[in-house]
Structure formats: structure tokens, C-alpha cells
């Protein structure tokens, strides 16, 4: 078992792995608290070394299976989103219309070749997948919200969707595999 002391995380915190999302998350056994992002007070350089040492193997993406695709997305949430909060902003108050204008701007930048979706997702996406350049891993039909699924499965690998509106917010989707 990995020695938790060299994770760089504050006391009682440890790194665990979400099988369903094939992603590491942070768990505090004392407070029974978990989160996708490292807690405040983390020595991020130490955490990076720890992750490279103990977690790169567990992050091996599931192999492509029949009926599954892999996609990345960039999400702009708004005040009517199912969870109007993200790693970027504790309380998201922009209107749906403002979110639409913002994501249409991103769509233009991406489709003009000025920036890659994954690059923009890193800093602009309101989904926890932002830190993986929006990469959601492999998923099949029934795994994601219907509007998202239909738009993603309609893409060929390498293609980018138009703006997709779901209960989570406004998305741009890039099919990766």
C-alpha cells in the first residue's frame, strides 16, 4: 500500500481512485469527506510526484470497448444549472444567455483553430474534468445525460459539436475515440 505520508496532502487526507470515473479523488477518513480537487493546504509539487509514482498506472484508460466512445468537453455553467458551482467559481450567477454567449465565443476560437478544446477546458470548463483537459474517458449509451450522449455519439472521432444544452449547462464536445 502506498505510504500516504508523502502525498503532500494535509493530515487525514488521502488519494483514492474512483473506478466509475477512472479518476483520482481526495478522501478525508476522519471527516468522511471526499472531493475531486486537492484540499487547501496541499503541497501540490509533492502531490504531483506522489501521483506520478503511485497513480499513473491506475489511470490507464479502460481499453476501447464495443459501443463505447471517448470524448472531452468544455462546460459553461449558469445560474439554472443543476449544480451552479464549480472548481472555478463557488457560486455561478451568470444567466443562461450569458453562458451561451461565452461558449459561442469559445466555439469560434476552437473552430477557427486558434486554440484546442482541451487547452481551453483546462482553465475555462466548469466541470471537474477540466484538469484532464475535459477528457471524460470512455462511456457508453446510458452513461451521460441524453442530450450529451446523442450529441457525442453523432460525432466522428476528432469532430467537435455545436453548443449542447443539458441540465448541467452549455457544453462543447470533442469526440476523441
Ligand X SMILES: O=C(CCc1ccccc1)N[C@H](Cc1nc2ccccc2[nH]1)C(=O)O
Residues that bind ligand X (CB under 6 A): 21, 23, 73, 75, 83, 86, 127-129, 136-137, 144-145, 148, 166, 168
Nearer to ligand X, 110 or 144 (CB): 144
Question: Considering 73, 81, 86, 161, which one is annotated as catalytic?
Answer: 73
Contact predicate 135/118, CB 8 Å? yes
Q: Which residue of the set 81, 86, 125, 127 is catalytic?
A: 127
Q: Active-site residue 145, yes or no?
A: yes
- Residue 88 C-alpha cell reads as 472555478
- Our answer to whether residue 86 is catalytic in this structure is no
Q: How far is the CB of 24 from ligand X (least distance, A)?
A: 11
Alpha carbon separation from 28 to 10, 42, 64 (Å, rounded): 9, 13, 33
What residues does 72 pair with on adjacent strands? 135, 174
Q: Is 17 a catalytic residue?
A: no
For residue 93, the SS3 value is coil
Active site residues: 73, 127, 145, 168, 171
Amino acid at each position: 500500500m502506498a505510504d500516504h505520508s508523502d502525498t503532500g496532502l494535509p493530515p487525514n487526507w488521502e488519494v483514492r481512485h474512483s473506478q466509475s470515473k477512472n479518476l483520482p479523488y481526495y478522501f478525508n477518513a476522519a471527516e468522511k469527506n471526499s472531493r475531486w480537487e486537492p484540499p487547501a493546504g496541499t503541497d501540490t509539487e509533492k502531490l504531483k510526484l506522489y501521483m506520478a509514482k503511485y497513480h499513473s498506472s491506475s489511470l490507464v484508460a479502460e481499453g476501447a470497448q464495443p459501443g463505447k466512445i471517448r470524448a472531452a468537453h468544455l462546460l459553461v455553467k449558469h445560474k439554472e444549472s443543476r449544480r451552479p458551482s464549480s472548481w472555478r467559481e463557488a457560486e455561478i450567477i451568470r444567466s443562461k444567455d450569458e453562458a451561451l454567449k461565452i461558449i459561442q465565443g469559445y466555439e469560434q476560437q476552437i473552430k477557427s483553430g486558434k486554440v484546442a478544446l482541451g487547452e481551453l477546458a483546462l482553465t475555462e470548463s466548469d466541470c471537474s474534468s477540466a484538469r484532464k483537459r475535459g477528457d471524460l474517458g470512455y462511456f457508453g449509451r446510458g452513461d451521460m445525460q441524453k442530450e450529451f450522449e446523442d450529441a457525442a455519439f453523432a460525432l466522428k472521432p476528432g469532430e467537435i459539436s455545436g453548443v449542447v444544452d443539458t441540465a448541467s449547462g452549455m457544453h462543447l464536445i470533442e469526440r476523441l475515440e
